[in-house]
Every structure is written in C-alpha cells, then in structure tokens.
Structure 1
Amino acid sequence: MEKILKDVVLDNSDEIVRMWIEQVKKNQGGAFYQSLSDEALENTNREFANAIFEGIQKGKIAKTPLDEFAEKLINLGWPLTYLTDGMQVFRRSVVKFIIHKWEDFDFSEADNYFELGDDYFPWVLEKVDEWVDPLVNELVSEYSGSWENIVSLQRMALQELSAPLIPVMDNITIMPLIGTIDTERAKMVMESLLDGVIKHNAEVVLIDITGVPVVDTMVAHHIIQAAEAVRLIGSRCILVGIRPEIAQTIVNLGIDLGKFPTKSSLRKGFQTALELTNREIVEGMNREEEIENLIESLDRSEEE
C-alpha cells in the first residue's frame, strides 16, 4: 500500500509542485528574495521541486540530487531557511493533496487497506514523514558540511593574511598587524615571526601596530613574548605605531616595553633599523643642484 501511495504522489507531481510553488512564493517576502528576479526565483523553485521528487523516488542512497542542489545554493549565497521552509511546505502540500484526493485513489489491490478504515490520516502523515524527514536531514547535513568547508577555507585565507612578514631590505623585515589580536592570532604571529626571521635572514623586525585598535595587557604580553622569541634566535624587534592613546594605555597598565625599541611611526622605526644594520640615509641632490654643480665645475675648468 505504501508503494501505491508513493506512485500516486510521483504520478501527480505536477499538481503537487503547483501547490507547493504557490505556498512557497507566499513565504518568500524577505529582503533576500526581493533582490532576485522572478525568473531566477521561479527556476530555483522548479529545480528544488524536481530534486525533492528525485530524492523520494530514489529513496535512501548515498547521494541524491538534493546534495548538489544544496551545494549550489550555498555557493550562490542562499539561506538555509529556503531549504528547510521549502521542505516543510512540501510536506504539507503532499499531505493536503493526498487527503483531498483520497477517495479517488484505487487501493483495491493494496494489502491491509481495509485495516485502516476511516483512520487513514495518521498513517498518511507517518508515511509522508518517512519520505520527507530523511531528505530534510540530508539537506541540513549537506548545507552544514559545505558551509563549514567554506568557513574553513576562508579562515585559512585570513590566517595567511593576519600575520604577514614583508622583507623590505636585506636583513630588515616588517610585520604590519591590523585588527584585534587574540590568543590564537598571537600564536600565529609568533610562528610567522620566527619562520620569517630564519627564512629572510632578518636582523631587525619592525612590528607595526598602527592598525591595532586596542592594546591591553594581553596584547602587550603577546607582543613582548614574540619579541623575546625573536631575540633568542639572534634578531631584534622594534615596535612601531605607538599612538598617543596607546602610549597612555601602556603607561596606565604598567606594561614594561623597555626591552626593545619603540617608535611612533614606521618611518622612524625604519631609520632605527638602518642604524642597527650599520646603514644610514643619504639625501641625494635634486636636479637643479646637480645642474648648478655641473656649471660651476665647468666654469672652474675654463678658468684654469
């Protein structure tokens, strides 16, 4: 009897889809759906309905069209509520169709049909739940798994950008830090510093905290630890980007940053790094001075 009921639903899929789409459209009044064209929404709804019926027809298998459909929606930025709400509307649409058409169904060859009598409604609900619930679980699982994978990839990309080490000259590198520094990121900063110092053979590392909004005791502690670790492998750290408000905070908190140089700007820090690596900045003459010196040298040659 269950097979006959499923065959009836599949054979009347067009009418059920029509009922389903009418109800789904009523629920799609949010800002996200308003940004979509009617054609895109209609096509997605049709594709969703087809995937549901294919899932019901194939039953419990390793992978159904709903998996690919859910993955596609994630990549397009559709919300999970579209899937879950759509499945609940589908459940109600199927039950409503079966109840309204029950008298038209031919169950004469079905086993145990007469045992149901007039109490067929609970049985219909149970059977529809058996079809729909696995699909709902499958959709949520696929959506969650794909979303976690996307978040993981984004986290890895952010981690690569969260503690960059940039070599600017021989033996001098800069690490610009932007945003909040928590314990996890501080660990990445230290690892990146130590690896970068060895890789670039850096004698001086400039840690630029201009883009760090708040420097509290924990942040300062992490920076001191990183600088100390760099010192232990034979290099020096210069902390740059000390804004007046950060300097005041550091003083009020009683944080000791006296073990390594601090500068208010990256420019001043770079000048100090040049001095520590036995370099200096030599200002060249501008074009006019070069021409004047050349004319003076020619005049002296003529006089001689």
Structure 2
Amino acid sequence: MNSKFEGIVLENSEKIVEMWLEEIGTLRKENRTESISIDLYESTNREFVDVIFTSIKSHGSTNAVEEFSEKIINLGWPLSYITDGLQVFRRVTIDFILRQSERVDTEYISNVLSSVDEWVEPIIRILVNDYSGNWEHIVSLQRVALQELSAPLIPVIDGITIMPLVGTVDTDRAKLIMESLLQGVITHNSEVVLIDITGVPVVDTMVAHHLIQAAEAVRLIGAKCILVGIRPEIAQTIVNLGINLTDFPTKSTLKKGFLTALEITNRKVVNVKSSENDIEKLIESIQGE
C-alpha cells in the first residue's frame, strides 16, 4: 500500500472503524447474520476489523487473516458476512482518504483505488479461498457418506436379502448398486435379492436398463432378483416405454415380494396359532387311540 495512504489510514483507524461498524450494522438482514446475538456480532466485527488493520501493519503477513477465517468457518458464519464486510471497508476507506485531500483529479483517485485494492484484495482472496476449500471438503465427505448409504444390502433371513433404493438412479449410482449387489450376494450367500424401488421417484428407460443389468448379473452368479415397489404410475410408465421385464419378476409391494422369495427358497409363512391347534388335535387323537 502507498506509504502516504497507509499513514492516513493508520492515523485515523478509529474513525474508519467507527464508520465501518455503523455501515456494516445495517446489513445484518442482507448477509444473513440476524440470528446471531448482538454481543457476538459486535465482538466479531471488532475482531474482523482488527484483523484487517493487522494485515497492513504486518506488511503482508496473512497469519491473523487465516486464523480469523478458520474461526468464523467453524462457527458457521455465512460467506456474505465476509464479502459484505470487506466491500464496505474498501468503500469507507477510499471515501475517507479522498476527503482528506483537496486534490481529487482522476490520477489521484486512481492511485487511491489501486492502493486500497492492493491492501484489501489479498484478504478477500484468502477468506474466499478458505471458505471454498472448506465447502469442497464438506461436499466430498457428504458424497462419500451418500455413496455408503445409497445402495445398502440388508440380509433379512438366510438366503434372502433386500436392497431398498431411495432417490434418483443415475449412471454413477447404478454402478455402485451393481457392485454392492454382487458383493452382497456373495457375502451373504443370498439365493434371492429383493430390489425395492418404492422410494425411486422416476423409472425411465435408463433406470430400467440399469435394473435389468443388475438382475442379469445376479443371475449369472447363481441368485435371483425380484423387483418390488411397482406403483401404478411406474407400471404405466414401463408399459408406455415398452420396457421388457419378462425375465425380471416384479411385485407391487415388498410383502408380496418377500412371500415369493420364501417360496423360491422352499419356505412359507405358517400361522403359529393354527399350528398349535393342529398339534393339540394330533395329541388328542393319539391319546384317544
């Protein structure tokens, strides 16, 4: 920063701070900080402006800026607070410097603008980059978490597993479904897999193609797929699109699909009460003989 302008700013730092605090306080609604308590808001403003002045006193050192950035990111402050604060600070500082001189020609104004920008721009860059890096990290973690939850395979009883799908099935997710399905069939020694699409909002040609591929892959390793959760609108879409699911057993509900899976594995649901009555009748007949 130009040494002359730096001197003006440092000598009048309190006045500039007061002007900045007054103006930034009117932007709480715009930068989404209304929910933050007044005490915390005011103390953070003071810390923010101190960091800005520290950067000019330390002649380019960014340590204080980086520490402040980490703090407000961890506290969840919006990026708009930072950008608004620095833009206001730039404007207030430029206006103050210009009012201190009788010279207001184009060259002088240009020198003031470039000098203040030389001071403020690096701070903006650091803070925005830190925010961006933090968001990218969070998004990356969320993506991994969603992938882990996007294709769960749940063993219910020996030989029968269920894969509930929720949300849109795109190409990347279809690949994950295929991998999870094949690995799960082998791990759980499954004979039948129920793919539940109750939570899939749209089944188009691409989604159906992915599901058919998954069912065929499961068949090749010795198991069988049943598609459950076929809602009326989904059934109508499949028919209108001419999608052939002849080799892919379908059921309207998970319950019906599970009963079919029991039949395939040579099991059935037995009414325990009826069974007890049958046993009692058998005992009575034996005793009667």
User: TM-score interval w.r.t. the shorter chain?
Assistant: 0.7 to 0.9
> Which letter maps to 1:208?
D
Structure 2 CA distance for partners of 1:25 and 1:275, relative to 1, 3 Å = same
TM-score for the superposition, normalised by structure 2:
0.87
> Which letter maps to 1:38?
I
Show the counterpart of 1:259. Answer: 247
- Give structure 2 stretches of 5+ with no counterpart: none
Structure 2 CA distance for partners of 1:225 and 1:38, relative to 1, 3 Å = same
CA shift for structure 1 position 43: 2.3
Task: Write out per-residue CA displacement over residues 57-111 of structure 1, whole angstroms, 9 at most, x where no aligned residue.
Answer: 33444x53333433443444433222112111111222233333458xxxxxxxx
Q: Is the 8 A contact 2:168 2:200 kept in 1?
A: yes
Further displaced range: 49-58 or 84-93: 49-58
CA shift for structure 1 position 2: 3.2
> Which letter maps to 1:79?
P
CA shift for structure 1 position 41: 2.0
Task: Write out per-residue CA displacement over residues 152-176 of structure 1, whole angstroms, 9 at most, x where no aligned residue.
Answer: 1112111211111111112221110
Show the counterpart of 1:6. Answer: 6
Structure 2 CA distance for partners of 1:71 and 1:186, relative to 1, 3 Å = farther
Q: How far apart in 1 are the matches of 2:132 and 2:200?
A: 33
Show the counterpart of 2:183. Answer: 195
Structure 2 CA distance for partners of 1:20 and 1:293, relative to 1, 3 Å = same
CA shift for structure 1 position 119: 5.7
Task: Write out per-residue CA displacement over residues 21-47 of structure 1, whole angstroms, 9 at most, x where no aligned residue.
Answer: 111112223383333322232122222
1:111-150 to 2 correspondences below 5 Å: 120-150=108-138
Find the residue that maps to 2:272 and give its secondary structure: coil
> Which letter maps to 1:235?
A
Q: How far apart in 2 are the matches of 1:298 and 1:225?
A: 55
CA shift for structure 1 position 187: 1.6
Find the residue that maps to 1:85 and give its secondary structure: helix
Find the residue that maps to 2:273 and give its secondary structure: coil
Aligned length, in residue pairs: 287
Aligned-residue RMSD, C-alpha: 3.0
Q: How far apart in 1 are the matches of 2:51 and 2:183?
A: 50
Show the counterpart of 2:98. Answer: 99
Q: Is the 8 A contact 1:208 1:239 kept in 2?
A: yes
CA shift for structure 1 position 212: 1.0
- 2:237 is equivalent to residue 249 of structure 1: yes
**Percentage of pairs with the same residue:** 60
CA shift for structure 1 position 277: 2.1
CA shift for structure 1 position 297: 6.0
Q: Is the 8 A contact 2:226 2:250 kept in 1?
A: yes
Find the residue that maps to 1:210 and give its secondary structure: strand
